Structure 1
């Protein structure tokens, strides 16, 4: 069948594809932000080229050059995935005869000792991914989900500390949450839980929290108070914030519930499903480091006296920031030549 190829440029069709993708699927704004970011990586190579003139070699050369700039395998995978979706849609709409991404491959570097060591750093969400995750929790979360994951990611507290929280631990005036206990229930039996002292002496702490958390807690309390009023003596009222609303009303939710809820939301958001609630603790560390907060302050907030994993995440993030600063300086000087 004869196909008359389009004269559209890559940037023109990429913008059209974004609109098609947004309108034809229930795509979350966070996903759109990620796609726009990935399209941006292609623009220096393909922006003004006509779709029909983009060859397999040109596409592959761009992939290789991007990889040579130091982007991680996961970042490259996302960039390539977006490129493939754009050109496959163009092929489907008969704007091009051949898909230049068809035989493209991602260059894999031989791992250095430094890279192997980097693999030991625990996985966490980048800030754009965290925004997408929380957005998914807001839009598609089950009972408690958004508030649970907002608190875990904005405070870095442990999941056992989260489910043991009581209303008396929250100071709505001074915007603080006191961590004084943790939850123990190895058999995940709702009725047979124990509240025990925190992991270490340093774990007893008072965390200043964002106003967004305070407001979300206030809304949650209003809903919970209504349920308590309705159920009366049928509610196990021990002041728990994350109390069950169905069956065994008032008992604290089990840790397994938080883990299962997170796996569900990660899957819906198409994020790394190997992450756990504890990964949000590492996410909090990485974002504080990126914001310029000192290591000592981060460890105090997390309730650590000395923790190698926190140090590893911190050093990894700050090292990447130094590399980025050096790269930006080099770009600035090259632009003056």
Structure 2
């Protein structure tokens, strides 16, 4: 009877983890989390407001930047509820269905971010290779269709994941490794064959992350080829400078992702704190730094933000 009760309980709830091995230190994360989420919300909402209000920024490049800001905002809000519950209020239990919902949104917006970065690379290629036809190629209709395809692809790839988890029996530990729910984290707790989950997860990663990384690499090969065709060294530098913010966004997304993947695959001997740290960096760092990078490096965005702040001050 006790086994049956535990099985039923493990299906109803998962237990989240704050700082591994040091639950009494979770409150140390309160201030850093407050600062990170505050900067994320403020930075990305500011980017969205500036692009929406400034008519001169209604161009393809800034529409894609707005997509990136909206995705970063959504990704942060997906993890926010359980992160706050764990580190601020010491509430570690999360309902099974709520965990699956969070899992769906985190993985979906992760895929959307990867797709938006590819779309931004395509935008830079068109702007550099076909500057005279830039506006006619990337019309409002085309941009809307690109956004819809990115969203549909990610939703379609991630939608089976919660159902694949829901079918599994959980009769052992129900303690997750992080303060939020991930597919691979929940899958390892199942007491059944998870090869279908593993195979599908691998195919989804190849279809979204790996494919996008290859397309990004190919895009920048084409961009460099186009730049080298420019005679003036000064013009080459000026054109490459327009890609700097996007390159930073790509690195902010892929370096933590690759680091987390390598640690998960080869760092089983490392402290759980290292695994938690890398997972949090992957989830929290890009939404914090992307608006900062674009605000500093993009002159039009920076000027409009300063103008908006000066208006608010007066």
TM-score, shorter chain, exceeding 0.5: no
Higher helix share: 2
- TM (normalized to structure 1)? 0.24
- TM (normalized to structure 2)? 0.26
- Of the two structures, which has the highest relative contact order with CA contacts closer than 8 Å and spacing of 6 or more? 2
